[in-house]
Amino acid sequence: MKIDTYKKTITISITIIMLLLIVEIFLRIFVIKPWENISVEDPLIFETDLILGWKAKEGTYNFSPAHINGKKFNMSFKKNGERKNGNASINVKSEILIIGGSFTQGWGVNDNETFSSKLQKKYVNYKIYNFGQGGYGSVQSFLLLEEQISKIKFPKLVIYGLIQHHEYRNVAHASWLRILSQYSSRGHVYTPYGQIGVDNQLLLHPPIGYSSFPFREVSSVITLIEKVYMKLKSRKRIYIKLKSKKRKKQQTIVTKKTILKMKEISEKFGSNFILVNLDWAGSFKKENYENFFKKNEIKFVNCAVTINKKFTIPGDYHPNEKAHTHYKDCLVDYIDKQKLLQRT
């Protein structure tokens, strides 16, 4: 009897192992590969921040081009994480604080080629701070603004550079967390995010990251289970009055409410808040952003360019110097027409 039980156990175990092997082979061929971190040779320019997730660290860094037709570029950061812009004149009248993601930071172009650096050359009597950070969305940009604006003596303007992907980042979508984890060698892994809670209030949560299951590097099955788990986890429901929504479905309202917070804190410190659209196509109007801005008296300007070879870095989606010149010209035109700064 014991022998029969032993044989049955062995048979079941072998069957399970064979099924798992078949599933593993199938997944590898048709669905998903085992987990693999993406190795990059770029310098490590970010350091961990308990509130923001990550922030650029002090230093000057040189980068090789992403494409054979590209060019080398440098990025320089001060101790507080801001990118260097060049110097204002001795007689500084006021200051301008710029926040956003990598489009604002100027990933892929030299320090003197970013639109913030070009604005500094135009408005020499205003000290301009470029606090754009690669990978940031609206939530991180707001938290950084909240951290830095109180340290600025007399800011005249706060400019936020918006791109469409910020919505995706603002709710810590599972796929975004996965990308951050895969590129963890760059120094950004954990990100804060927003949700809408009871009474339609914006809730800001501390940084979270992508789960790491044992043996995911050797098994497609484990990698798939991990992926499904993260999707389910990111769909955690928060109730808004009588209506429940998944985190992904909240991304537009989270973004809008975060932008409102940017405006509120800017005005609290006597600053004009400007939202500049750097990369948002049809859905910018589809989601009624323009109507939302007008309703809430948010100053905004659409400076988006067509993302093509003319305006992007070879082998990269980020804007090149021509695009940054366009951003600068577009902002100058808006700022001067609205008389937000005294002409210099």
182-230 pLDDT tens trace: 887 665 689 999 999 888 899 999 999 888 777 777 777 777 777 777 7
Q: Mean of the pLDDT values across residues 293-317?
A: 91
Judged on CB neighbours under 10 Å (0-12, 13-18, 19+), 328 is buried
Closest of 179, 183, 175, 191 to residue 49, by C-alpha: 191
Tell me how far apart the alpha carbons of residues 191 and 180 are, in angstroms, rounded to a whole number.
9
Average pLDDT over all residues of the chain: 86
Tell me how far apart the alpha carbons of residues 65 and 71 are, in angstroms, rounded to a whole number.
5
Tell me how far apart the alpha carbons of residues 25 and 220 are, in angstroms, rounded to a whole number.
8
Q: Is the pLDDT of residue 283 over 70?
A: no
Q: Both tokens of residue 324?
A: 């940054």
pLDDT in tens, 101-159: 999 999 999 999 999 999 999 999 999 999 999 999 999 999 999 999 999 877 899 99
pLDDT band for 92, please (50, 70, 90 cuts). confident
> Residue 46: which region, alpha, beta or left (left: phi > 0; alpha: psi -120 to 50)?
beta
Domains defined for the chain, CATH in brackets = 46-207+246-337 (3.40.50.1110)
Tell me how far apart the alpha carbons of residues 265 and 151 are, in angstroms, rounded to a whole number.
13
Residue 8 pLDDT: 77
Percent of the chain residues topping a pLDDT of 90: 55
pTM: 0.87
Residue 287 pLDDT: 61
344: number of Cβ within 10 Å: 11
Tell me how far apart the alpha carbons of residues 270 and 52 are, in angstroms, rounded to a whole number.
24
pLDDT band for 326, please (50, 70, 90 cuts). very high
Angle between helical axes of 2-26 and 220-234 (0-180°, round to 10): 70
Percent of the chain residues topping a pLDDT of 70: 90
Strand partners of residue 62: 74
Residue 184 pLDDT: 76
Tell me the CA distances in angstroms from 311 to 102, 323, 328, one per residue in order.
Answer: 15, 5, 14
Residue 81 pLDDT: 95
